[in-house]
Structure 1
Amino acid sequence: MDELNPIERFVYKTLVWTWPFYGLGALYVVGPVIAWLLGGLCALILYFGPAVRDDMRATGSIPPVVWGWIVGMFVLLVALWVGHFDWSLGTKQTIKSSIGWAKGWALLALFPLIGAVLPIRRDVLARGQCIIGLWTLILAPILLAAPMIGLPERIFTSPLKAIGGPGPEYFSVYFFTWDPSSWTPRWQFYAPWSPFAALLGVVMVLFALEEKDIKWRSIGLAAGALMILASKSRMGLVGLTACTIGPRMMPLLLRGWAWQVAAALTASMAVLGTRVAMAAIDGVAAFKGARADSTRVRETLQRIASERWQNDAYWFGHGTVQPGSHAVEYMPIGSHHTWYGLLFVKGAVGFLALLVPFVWQTLLALKDAAVSPRGYLPLGIMMTLTLLSFGENIEIEAYLLWPALVVLGIHARELEDLRNDAE
């Protein structure tokens, strides 16, 4: 950490100051600001080329998959404009939604671009995540004790909310929140709500596994596990297991004995298949029943979004989320699921605009994880994003996922360098 170039130092300091930024209610502002600042720096560095100082020069050209993210996110902007025009939402609403795109969807293209072009090392991001973990462990005692000693849920809401955003919770600072279904405390740390905090914990664990210093690695793993457990999120527990173990199982695809074991297990399903299927069904039912009210609301939102997409706005969607009824506890239609939300808001065009680069990046990570540990972190990140997309809207949470998105760009650059060396 003593040999950082200016860009790495900026990224590292931003990560280190995550908790202080949260304490000011400023995290939702910080994410888009660094995305557009560093994205603009990418353009300048690519333009000036050799004239740039040695330690800040571009690491290469833009990889094809990063171009996929850039084109896909631009198509989403076009779909937004068409949807607003089709539904006559007006110039004011179109401008407001376009600004929202610049603070959300655009980040899914800018951060991979930053990772692919700027000289940023994985180790810097991993250490930065572990330092966030140290902050988390230091603050954990007061956060965990807050409901027992009578402290309020919310400390304050920052005046930065005047800038505009998805809701006041993005600018609020919390000790904890009460779960309305069980009236027990849940912790969200520096995230706007608990389930998202759990998947941020999964991301922290993934980064910590890349850390070479055992002290910092232990801190990152402990903090990530705490975030997952204290958030009481079912999805976080699934992610902790699947997103860490799954990528490390990929090399087995190239081992003959692993295929023989798989064949034997498949054959045994002829005898045990019914019992295994029933156990799986019971497990899914128990998983959903753990938070039955939440599951019901989400399933109803998805059904309404799907039906209205097919019947009202197949190609370009409704342009924006719409208020929900009492049946979904007044949650907006088009929220709580990235893919159903895309279909409802931006139609089939918007759905494909995200699906293509998303699948492309995942396939690259799958292939690389099978042959090299280099692919473990990007594959774990893509698995985490997949889990997140089934319960949240990725675009409004990209401002906290930016280190993971930068890694996707770094990985794309690494693969492109390998391909160029092979030629």
Structure 2
Amino acid sequence: MAASATDPRALEDRVVGLSLAVTWPCYAIGGLYVLGPVLGVTLTGIYLLRAYLAPMLPGAQRPPGIPIGVWIWIAGMIVMLISLLVAHFANNLGTGQTIKSTIGWAKGWGLFAMFALAGACLRIKFETVIKGAAITGLISLLLTPALFMAPKVGLPEVLFVSPLKAVGGPGPEFFAVQLYSINPGDGTARWRYFTPWSPAAAYIGNLYLILALEDKRPVWRIIGVVSALAIIVLSASRLGLAAAMAVWPTAFGVSQLRRSVLWIFGSIPTFGMALFAQPILIKVNDTLDAVRGMRADSNRVREALGRIAVDRWRTEAPMWGHGVVENGPHYVEYMPIGSHHTWFGLLFIKGITGVFAFAIPLLWSLAEFTLLALSSPKGRAALAITLLMVLFTVGENLEMLIYLFWPGLVVMGMAMREAADRRTEEFSS
């Protein structure tokens, strides 16, 4: 039952809508990195308070039970924390570093479970997330011409770094107000919008594209799609462009699999592809080589960081990892080992335990949302969001960007609730 405007249970709905709507104003003061964790903790606190007061509340106001999908995410993120604590103890990193890393877990991996819980067990509407994202999309679109002209008229890349960086974070770029960045390889401009770096903008742009395509308001849907595509294109991220072309079509195709006519017409191009498989594969391989050659230096650094992470994980800390981030040598430009890749980062910092702690919830969500997508818009959106996460694990450390990607986790939580409710209805009938 939808909460009315006067229903106090709609508080979280208003909080989520407002948090999305103020994305740009909050970014303008360098506060987005603070907003994400504060929002996650606030929503979790609302749920825990309601759960504690449940015996004193009317039946309709009691929070629902936690779906199994959310429990799996909670368990996975708790295992992440256990891995962190064991690694710190095994590597003698000290109490101060352990406390610091635990706070980092709460601002990163812990938010995966918090936002999924909020989406599943609080009165947050799917439409609220879509409308909030649409407002941010409109502002992004209106600012695009000014951002595009900034490097051409000689404006600085970074306007300022917010004093809020004093709260602590991965780096100053998370608190900086930036107009653009210059690619050191070829001197071309790339745009970051309200994210810390350009590939992150492509990641978030793809999330907003998914949400825009679910908007039932035609004008706002067009605005959202155009805005998201502008962010993706101007970010100049190869992975972002690939995601825009693959993620939503895949999720939409899955959602249509119950239609028998799709199987009939789909068999024709499938048969044709089988006949011409070899030339198609050659062409795809040539295209991938060309894309990889666009920024050879970037690929070299990423691949070297991956090799270092895997080698040191295997030889030094295979089970629990090293516990903390370490900078690489000179030939990888001193970048953190395991950065630019979620799985390599997990192997190095949290070992094989951390990999399974993330992989199992991710695989569960893929399976659950694939089934739900056959009959539900929420399931379709959640499947697309999960596919996007999977795709970007090979190009980004997702933990560092959850403070921006949280609307996707909220939608995934909503889909977990719907899937659990349907299973209950089927079992009851």
TM bucket normalised to smaller: over 0.9
1:178 lines up with 2:182 in the alignment: yes
Distance 1:330 1:40 in 2: 39
1:134 lines up with 2:138 in the alignment: yes
- The gaps in structure 2 that reach 5 residues or longer are none
Distance 1:347 1:40 in 2: 31
Question: Which residue is 2:366 aligned to?
Answer: 362
1:418 lines up with 2:422 in the alignment: yes
Post-superposition Cα deviations, 1:168-189, rounded to whole Å, max 9, x if no partner, equal: 0000001111111111111100
Preserved CA contact (<8 Å) 2:317 2:351: yes
Structure 1 residue identity aligned to 2:333 = E
Distance 1:33 1:26 in 2: 11
Preserved CA contact (<8 Å) 2:81 2:102: yes
1:9 lines up with 2:14 in the alignment: yes
TM-score by length of 1: 0.95
Distance 1:266 1:204 in 2: 31
Q: 1:225 to 1:54 in 2, by over 3 A?
A: farther
Post-superposition Cα deviations, 1:60-101, rounded to whole Å, max 9, x if no partner, equal: 210001001111101101100111111111111111111100
Question: Which residue is 2:303 aligned to?
Answer: 299
Distance 2:248 2:5 in 1: 30
Displacement of 1:126 = 0.1
Post-superposition Cα deviations, 1:279-338, rounded to whole Å, max 9, x if no partner, equal: 121121112112211111111111111111111111001111211112212111121110
Question: Which residue is 2:52 aligned to?
Answer: 47
Of the three residues 99, 106, 109, the one matched with 1:102 is: 106
Displacement of 1:264 = 5.9
Displacement of 1:260 = 5.7
1:21 lines up with 2:22 in the alignment: no
Distance 2:59 2:234 in 1: 45
- The gaps in structure 1 that reach 5 residues or longer are none
Counting aligned pairs with the same residue, the percent is 44
1:348 lines up with 2:352 in the alignment: yes
Structure 2 residue identity aligned to 1:7 = E
Count of residue correspondences = 422
Distance 2:333 2:56 in 1: 57
Equivalent position SS for 2:335: coil
Preserved CA contact (<8 Å) 1:188 1:194: yes
Question: Which residue is 2:158 aligned to?
Answer: 154
Q: Select between 129-138 and 260-269 the one with higher mean Cα deviation.
A: 260-269
Q: Select between 47-56 and 113-122 the one with higher mean Cα deviation.
A: 47-56
Of the three residues 398, 401, 404, the one matched with 1:394 is: 398
Displacement of 1:54 = 8.5
Distance 2:320 2:246 in 1: 34
The aligned runs of 1:20-419 (5 Å cut-off) are 20-49=25-54, 51-52=56-57, 57-58=62-63, 60-256=64-260, 258-259=262-263, 271-419=275-423
Post-superposition Cα deviations, 1:100-148, rounded to whole Å, max 9, x if no partner, equal: 0011010000000001110111000000000001111222222111111
Displacement of 1:274 = 2.1
Preserved CA contact (<8 Å) 2:255 2:380: no
Structure 2 residue identity aligned to 1:109 = A
Distance 1:102 1:133 in 2: 28
Distance 2:67 2:273 in 1: 43
Post-superposition Cα deviations, 1:27-62, rounded to whole Å, max 9, x if no partner, equal: 00110001011101111112212645899642x210
Q: 1:180 to 1:56 in 2, by over 3 A?
A: farther
Displacement of 1:217 = 1.4
Distance 2:376 2:128 in 1: 20
Equivalent position SS for 2:124: coil
Displacement of 1:251 = 4.0
Preserved CA contact (<8 Å) 1:309 1:347: yes
Displacement of 1:268 = 5.2
Preserved CA contact (<8 Å) 2:214 2:377: no
TM-score by length of 2: 0.94
Equivalent position SS for 1:161: helix
Post-superposition Cα deviations, 1:338-365, rounded to whole Å, max 9, x if no partner, equal: 0111011100111101111111011111
Equivalent position SS for 1:291: helix
Equivalent position SS for 1:162: helix
Distance 2:381 2:271 in 1: 33
Post-superposition Cα deviations, 1:137-166, rounded to whole Å, max 9, x if no partner, equal: 222222111111111000000111111100
Compute the RMSD of aligned alpha carbons.
Answer: 1.9
Distance 1:15 1:147 in 2: 28
Preserved CA contact (<8 Å) 1:178 1:185: yes
Q: Select between 300-309 and 246-255 the one with higher mean Cα deviation.
A: 246-255
Preserved CA contact (<8 Å) 2:202 2:240: yes
Distance 1:150 1:57 in 2: 57
Distance 2:277 2:220 in 1: 44
Preserved CA contact (<8 Å) 1:137 1:223: yes
Displacement of 1:401 = 0.6
